[in-house]
Amino acid sequence: MLMNKPKKVAILTAGGLAPCLNSAVGSLIERYTEIDPSIEIICYRGGYKGLLLGDYYPVTAEVRENAGLLQRFGGSVIGNSRVKLTNVKDCVKRGLVKEGEDPQKVAADQLVKDGVDILHTIGGDDTNTAAADLAAFLARNDYGLTVIGLPKTVDNDVFPIKQSLGAWTAAEQGARYFWNVVAENNSNPRMLIVHEVMGRNCGWLTAATAQEYRKLLDRAEWLPELGLSRESYEVHAVFIPEMAIDLEAEAKRLREVMDKVDCVNIFVSEGAGVEAIVAEMQAKGQEVPRDAFGHIKLDAVNPGKWFGEQFAQMIGAEKTLVQKSGYFARAAAANIDDMRLIKSCADLAVECAFRRESGVMGHDEDNGNVLRAIEFPRIKGGKPFNIDSDWFTQILAEIGQNKGAKVEVSH
């Protein structure tokens, strides 16, 4: 295996945060060091931005020795950015390349200049799309470089990967977040609490967060004789992009909950109802803000607020509280389950580096869920959450919510 060992390896993280980035960087550094500490490693600062500008951290002996520290922290110490290499206009505007330059060629030439023969990209759909484009460009132009991706996204929505890195932790952390927020139901009569969970076009994280939160409820002890009842802490509704919502029917059901329990707690994906909200904004002549990838900026659209406004009057809420767990959840350090998955993917990524095998590490749903280097052209975002999953069906049944019809979500 060492006959084809890399001389120099580069690592970058990109896109939004997820509870796996530091862990993945640390795991890659540790694995290369275990196999052969003479292999040079650099980490580009700020994702593809650092690559275009040739700005990087050298991985010194001290960094190698202490790489395990990264497992304890969330975020990405080497920094992220949202840069699309094929969006030339945006790269020029941000000063990352000069007018007339091709960002892919600038990136490829920088890798050559830096002496890199293996590039590890850690990111979600957009990052891996950029990595796929770059890998194809390198191959077409005989650069002799290999790109190897690790799949990061709290949405868990990457085809054909069974479980993306960081998603389990994000669900667990979102549940922890709501455990404190839900106590606000004591602060006001007829309280409506909307928990907005990250998930642009996929409801997996919202559903999984509800599942993890209800596990906390299962483990708790209650004293209903003094008002400490599970009913007031319960998830009363889960709204996700893949499931149609009958607003009137849900409002009627939730009003009954409000009348009985004096509060209502809703979990909603940030992408649920976005099409209706955007249509409303456009009808008013308002501009819909978008990022470099053309995605609607969900913080500007504010679905949680919209749902709160829709239901507040219909269920007779006296006060509405909208809380978003996204930044709390996505910037957490990886939990034990994710660390195990991250390490197995990082170990395989290093193996692939010695074989000069490009692709994205993951359990391939189209090939018996085997952990392998999945070919870049097969990687794409937008994998919908299956609302017919047994565990999700059980949640809806237990909270008394009718399952809506499946909705085809546009991406």
User: Mean pLDDT by 10-residue block, N- to C-terminus, for the chain (411 residues)?
Assistant: 81 95 98 97 97 97 98 97 90 95 93 95 82 84 91 94 97 98 96 92 95 98 96 97 89 97 95 66 66 62 79 94 96 98 98 96 97 94 94 98 89 55
For residue 194, give the H/E element and its range: strand 191-197
Out of 90, 155, 338, 364, pick the active-site residue: 155
154 is in an annotated binding site: yes
DSSP codes of every residue in 280-336? HHHHTT----B-TTS-B-HHHH-HHHHHHHHHHHHHT-SEEEEEE-HHHHHTSPP-H
Strands 319-324 and 237-239: unpaired
What is the pLDDT at residue 70?
Answer: 98
Distance from C-alpha of 304 to C-alpha of 298, rounded to nearest angstrom = 10
125 is in an annotated binding site: yes
270 is in an annotated binding site: yes
Instruction: Say if CB 341 and CB 227 are below 8 A apart.
Output: no
What is the pLDDT at residue 411?
Answer: 55
Reading the block at residue 329, the tokens are: 């959840």
What is the pLDDT at residue 178?
Answer: 98
Distance from C-alpha of 312 to C-alpha of 10, rounded to nearest angstrom = 51
34 is in an annotated binding site: no
The residue type at 128: N
The residues, ordered by sequence, that sit 6+ positions from 110 with a Cβ below 8 Å of its Cβ are 51, 52, 54
End-to-end Cα distance, the chain: 41
159 is in an annotated binding site: no
DSSP, collapsed to helix, strand or coil, labels residue 390 as: helix
Distance from C-alpha of 150 to C-alpha of 344, rounded to nearest angstrom = 11
What is the pLDDT at residue 1?
Answer: 47
DSSP state of 195: E
Q: What is the CA radius of gyration of the chain?
A: 23
**What are the C-alpha distances in Å from 78 to residues 43, 97, 331?**
7, 21, 14
155 catalytic residue (yes or no): yes
Among 335, 46, 345, 47, residue whose Cα is nearest residue 166:
335
Handedness of CA 107, 113, 117, 121 (dihedral sign): negative
283 is in an annotated binding site: no
Instruction: Say if CB 151 and CB 362 are below 8 A apart.
Output: yes
DSSP codes of every residue in 1-44? -GGG--SEEEEEE-SS--TTHHHHHHHHHHHHHHH-TTSEEEEE
What is the pLDDT at residue 285?
Answer: 72
